[in-house]
Amino acid sequence: MAKTLFQKVWEAHTVRQLPNGQTQLFIGTHLIHEVTSPQAFGMLRDLGLKVKYPHRTFATVDHIVPTNELKEPYSDPIAQEMIEALRKNTKDYGIRFFDTSTGMQGIVHMVGPEQGITQPGTTIACGDSHTATHGAFGAIAFGIGTTQVRDVLATQTLSLSPLKVRRIEVNGKLRPGVYAKDVILHIIRDLGVNGGIGFAYEYAGSTFDNFSLEERMTVCNMSIEGGARCGYVNPDEKTFEYIKGRPHAPKAADWDAAVVRWKSFASDPDCKYDDIKVYRAEDIRPTVTWGITPGQAIFIDEKMPALELLNAADRATAEDAYKHMKLSPSTPIKGTKVDVAFLGSCTNGRISDLREVAKYLKGHKVSPTVKAIVVPGSQLTAIQAVKEGLDKVFIDAGFEWRGAGCSMCLAMNPDKLVGDQLCASSSNRNFKGRQGSQTGRTVLMSPLMVAAAAITGQVSDAREIFKV
């Protein structure tokens, strides 16, 4: 019978059926970070359990790491306590830790791919909802809670129910100035923030075939913003090319066997999907959010929706959103004053994002009214960027160049909005308070749009500013 990648990976990792009817699923790769793991190790100790397969868990530190303070102890004693707890836990249990001193630390969803740990046909879990990022390689990857982190540590398995699979096809060529970020914001806008509940999203079509792995990661990353716990792209030659030669990639004779195996996991051409959606790449324009959920998005040249045009269910959230954002229905978002520009995060903090922006940034200056920061998602990205001289381009334009971490994507480190500042952000969540100020406002967009906003001090159309 023809099967989807999801079904094949699920079957290959099924340990047994549990009495409650769920599947005991083997988690081949477990990623941990400092925020959601300490309590799990605590539970493990309380129960007197060991880590079953220490070599299948990998750790890094990202959320609490200050990006402008490299020396320890950090000025936030709690951050210091958290990084030390992770050091102790990984040491006690023999887990590989990509610590800040290794030159390989970074946002957990960047470290896995960079190290070649993220591979097709595998199951990956992490106590972090953006774990679907790894689905870009044809893995079934999803976020879990802390009790489940304990379950994986102790048994390398989870109790789960299978998901349905929705194929989301995007075909054709994106217009200039339109990016992977716009594609996923467009999909979420269309299918809604809870449209994906119960589904894994399989992204496909010629647009995805042409995407680099980094672009695929940007899309898979935000699956959870559409309610889908897991999203993936079928593995292809580009996938194998990306993995080849990385530290944890299969070597020598194992490589060929691995590629054969990886290919076999791709969805069969005639498999059945629970749902199919199809989009045309050329219909997508640069997209920005105007509200407090990632689904509240419009094309940059559209007006924000009139309340009376929204269905009753969406209206209350929209009213709340307009109030919080201090924006008005039926007006353009373009021209809205911006105070902060944040370029980074596991959605858009990769080398290709930095390269693309740097390409256009030369000769431009950040508006004096804007605080602009660029935060490479990982130390390897930062090193590569410096090698290419990208840091200079950003610094010359007036951006602050920072160390690797989650930074202003969420408020667990010193990078935060103040008061009701409005941030043009390449991250993934525009929830109230997400960027550290209760009244702070977030407008999500692609990296190039962030750069345009930084330069003009307003939400702008990057295609006009940079003559894309």
- Chain positions contacting ligand SF4, by CB under 6 A: 62-63, 107, 109, 128, 130, 345-346, 406, 409-410, 427-428
Q: To the nearest whole angstrom, how small is the minimum distance from the Cβ of residue 33 to ligand SF4?
A: 8
Is residue 206 at the binding interface for other proteins, with CB under 8 A as the rule?
no
Is residue 161 at the binding interface for other proteins, with CB under 8 A as the rule?
yes
Q: Which is nearer to other proteins, 227 or 376 (CB)?
A: 227
Is residue 317 at the binding interface for other proteins, with CB under 8 A as the rule?
yes
427 binds, among other proteins, ligand SF4, none (CB under 5 to 8 A by kind): ligand SF4
CB 220 within 8 A of CB 132: yes
Q: To the nearest whole angstrom, how small is the minimum distance from the Cβ of residue 381 to ligand SF4?
A: 12
Diameter over CA atoms, the chain = 64
Q: To the nearest whole angstrom, how small is the minimum distance from the Cβ of residue 427 to ligand SF4?
A: 6
Q: Which of 429, 445, 455, 465 binds other proteins (CB under 8 A)?
A: 429
Interface size with other proteins, residues (CB under 8 A): 83
Q: Is 460 helix (H, G, I), strand (E, B) or coil?
A: coil
Encoded tokens for 180:
């992977």
48 Rama class: left (phi>0) / alpha (psi -120 to 50) / beta: left
Q: To the nearest whole angstrom, how small is the minimum distance from the Cβ of residue 462 to other proteins?
A: 27
- Which whole-number Å values give the CA distances from 116 to 57, 113, 134, 135, 264, in the listed order? 14, 5, 11, 13, 19
Q: Which is nearer to ligand SF4, 23 or 131 (CB)?
A: 131
Q: To the nearest whole angstrom, how small is the minimum distance from the Cβ of residue 23 to other proteins?
A: 9
**Could you tell me which stretch among 11-19, 215-223, 351-359, 361-369 binds other proteins (CB under 8 A)?**
11-19
**Could you tell me which stretch among 97-105, 148-156, 303-311, 446-454 binds other proteins (CB under 8 A)?**
148-156
Q: What is the DSSP letter of 211?
A: S
Encoded tokens for 248:
């944890």
Half-sphere exposure of 134 (CA within 13 A, CB side): 34
What is the Rg, in whole angstroms, of the alpha carbon atoms belonging to the chain? 21
Q: To the nearest whole angstrom, how small is the minimum distance from the Cβ of residue 82 to ligand SF4?
A: 14
223 binds, among other proteins, ligand SF4, none (CB under 5 to 8 A by kind): none
Q: Which of 205, 344, 436, 447 binds other proteins (CB under 8 A)?
A: 436
Residue list 226-245, contact with other proteins (CB under 8 A): 227, 229
Q: To the nearest whole angstrom, how small is the minimum distance from the Cβ of residue 107 to ligand SF4?
A: 5
62 binds, among other proteins, ligand SF4, none (CB under 5 to 8 A by kind): ligand SF4
Is residue 375 at the binding interface for other proteins, with CB under 8 A as the rule?
no
Q: What is the DSSP letter of 384?
A: H
Is residue 33 at the binding interface for other proteins, with CB under 8 A as the rule?
no
Encoded tokens for 50:
């060991």
CB 218 within 8 A of CB 250: no
Query: How close are the terminal C-alpha atoms of the chain, in Å?
Result: 47
Cα separation, 73 vs 77, in Å, equals 7
Sign for the pseudo-dihedral over CA of 46, 111, 232, 355: positive
- Which whole-number Å values give the CA distances from 150 to 34, 43, 97, in the listed order? 14, 7, 17
